[in-house]
């Protein structure tokens, strides 16, 4: 009887996904702060700045009017039109607003895109290292993530050759690309992205492009996959460039035949995205000056770290083209990035994320630093790390 009762409560096998380790680092950092100790936060990938004032004002005004109801499943038409206009302004692409779907962050878009493109058992390629929820969500939906190792010779991004080699071994149904990428911050040139998409589509592999860090590109301008192929499914978000992580709002640019599919799925799964967030997001496009100032702050932080960390002892990191991450090799100090991150927090007061979150194997040799905080914090981090490693 006891066992039968226990069975009633056992979770499904597919729900057995690993945790996002950065959350554990956050909790340890918060505990340290609660004890009154100083922490420089470089663990979580979110801007320190709030949403632009235009967004906050629009949300406040909407609250005053009282009723916040459901919206169309694919999003408020004026927001979809504003997002489409963004593609003309930022990339010179004329985009039909009918192809835009508003989602609960890019996280919500992953679920919708994987459900609309893949069957259980389908194999989907990802660059390793990469953003952990890609593989965890795919696994929970019964798909098989296929990690493809990247190397310095391809700027740590997926190469067409590596993709096709994996496809020849066992058929792939899809591939997820991200430029700028998390945790590496590396980017693909427009030509490299175009070649990867062409090769993938030629082989019958569906392309999903996670463009959440667009706008935060320092080395060169990021290209959207929407401009390169009408078949690519593009995912983006208001979380990073627009500084709206907690508002939980993002979007997809869908290949035209998938619009009704996503409409039906989203209507059933969530009805619609929170209305207040949609109102704020539309107004966020008018807060460009504030967002550009945040971007310039990140660019300055990037300079402080790329110049300061080598002096502090961390002199091996991947190209820092975009986003707000620096992925540093710590192999000369440790083979255990989880332990190294714990000691860095406890002994130096700097919170960073162990690489094993992003790469189950080689990640033990890496730490990810998020540089979306203030420039003063970045200088302090460099000094603390240098003192801790005996280079101060
Ligand atoms: C590469 C990448 N994609 C997607 C997300 C999810 O962001 P959100 O759901 O807030 O849009 C993140 C968050 O850090 C990320 O780094």
Q: Which tens digit of pLDDT belongs to each residue from 315-343? A: 999 889 999 999 999 999 999 999 999 99
CA distances from 268 to 10, 35, 52, 104, 250 (A): 26, 45, 32, 14, 18
pLDDT > 70 fraction of the chain, expressed in percent and rounded: 99
Please state the rounded mean pLDDT for residues 100-113. 98
pLDDT digits (tens, 9 = 90+) for 88-97: 999 999 999 9
Q: How far is CA 168 from CA 135, 146, 203, 284, in A?
A: 21, 13, 10, 45
Pocket, ligand 1, Cβ cutoff 6 A:
45, 105-107, 131, 178, 182, 210, 212, 237, 239, 245, 250
Contact 117, 208 (CB under 8 A): yes
- What average pLDDT is seen over the chain? 95
Rounded to the nearest angstrom, the distance between the alpha carbon of 108 and the centre of ligand 1 is: 10
Q: How far apart are CA 377 and CA 382, in angstroms?
A: 9
Bridge-based pairing of strands 206-210 and 233-237 is parallel
**Could you tell me the distance, in angstroms and rounded to a whole number, from the CA of residue 240 to the centre of ligand 1?**
8
User: Which atom from ligand 1 is nearest to the alpha carbon of 178?
Assistant: 1
Separation CA 263–CA 387 (nearest Å): 54
Distance CA 204, CA 245 (A): 34
Atom 7 (ligand 1) nearest CA: 106
User: Rounded CA gap, 173 and 167, in Å?
Assistant: 9
pLDDT confidence of residue 1: 55
Task: Measure 134 CA to ligand 1 centroid, in angstroms.
Answer: 10
Q: At what angle do helices 105-117 and 132-140 cross, to 10 degrees?
A: 50
Phi, then psi, of 354 in degrees rounded to 5: -65, 140
What atom of ligand 1 comes closest to residue 210's alpha carbon?
3
**Res 147: pLDDT:** 96
- State residue 2's pLDDT score: 66
Pair 350, 378: CB distance under 8 Å: no
Q: Residue whose CA is closest, atom 13 of ligand 1?
A: 45
Whole-angstrom Cα distance, residue 187 to residue 181?
6
């Amino acid at each position: 009887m006891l066992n039968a009762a226990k069975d009633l409560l056992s979770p499904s096998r597919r729900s057995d996904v690993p945790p996002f380790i950065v959350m554990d680092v956050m909790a340890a950092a918060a505990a340290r702060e609660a004890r009154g100790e100083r922490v420089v936060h470089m663990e979580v990938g979110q801007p320190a700045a709030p949403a632009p004032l235009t967004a906050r004002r629009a949300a406040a005004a909407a609250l005053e009017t009282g009723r916040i109801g459901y919206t169309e499943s694919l999003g408020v038409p004026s927001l979809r039109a504003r997002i489409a206009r963004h593609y003309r302004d930022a990339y010179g692409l004329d985009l039909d607003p009918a192809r835009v779907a508003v989602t609960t962050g890019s996280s919500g878009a992953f679920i919708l895109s994987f459900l609309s493109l893949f069957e259980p058992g389908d194999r989907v390629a990802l660059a390793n290292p990469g953003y952990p929820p890609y593989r965890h969500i795919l696994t929970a939906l019964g798909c098989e993530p296929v990690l493809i190792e990247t190397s310095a010779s391809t700027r740590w991004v997926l190469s067409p050759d590596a993709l096709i080699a994996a496809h020849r071994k066992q058929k792939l149904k899809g591939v997820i690309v991200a430029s700028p990428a998390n945790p590496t911050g590396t980017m693909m040139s427009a030509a490299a992205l175009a070649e990867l998409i062409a090769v993938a589509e030629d082989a019958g592999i569906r392309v999903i492009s996670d463009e959440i860090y667009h706008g935060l590109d320092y080395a060169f301008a990021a290209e959207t996959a929407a401009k390169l192929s009408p078949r690519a499914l593009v995912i983006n978000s208001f979380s990073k460039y627009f500084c709206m992580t907690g508002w939980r709002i993002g979007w997809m640019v869908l290949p035209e035949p998938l619009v009704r599919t996503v409409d039906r799925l989203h209507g059933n799964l969530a009805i619609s995205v929170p209305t207040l967030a949609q109102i704020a997001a539309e107004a966020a496009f008018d807060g460009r000056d504030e967002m550009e100032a945040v971007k310039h702050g990140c660019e300055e932080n990037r300079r402080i770290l790329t110049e300061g960390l080598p002096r502090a002892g961390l002199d091996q990191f991947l190209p820092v083209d975009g986003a707000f991450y620096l992925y540093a090799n710590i192999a000369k100090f440790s083979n255990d990035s989880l332990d190294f991150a714990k000691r860095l927090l406890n002994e130096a007061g700097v919170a960073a994320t162990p690489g094993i979150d992003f790469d189950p194997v080689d990640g033990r040799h890496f730490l990810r630093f998020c540089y979306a905080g203030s420039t003063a914090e970045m200088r302090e981090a460099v000094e603390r790390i240098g003192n801790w490693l005996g280079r101060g």
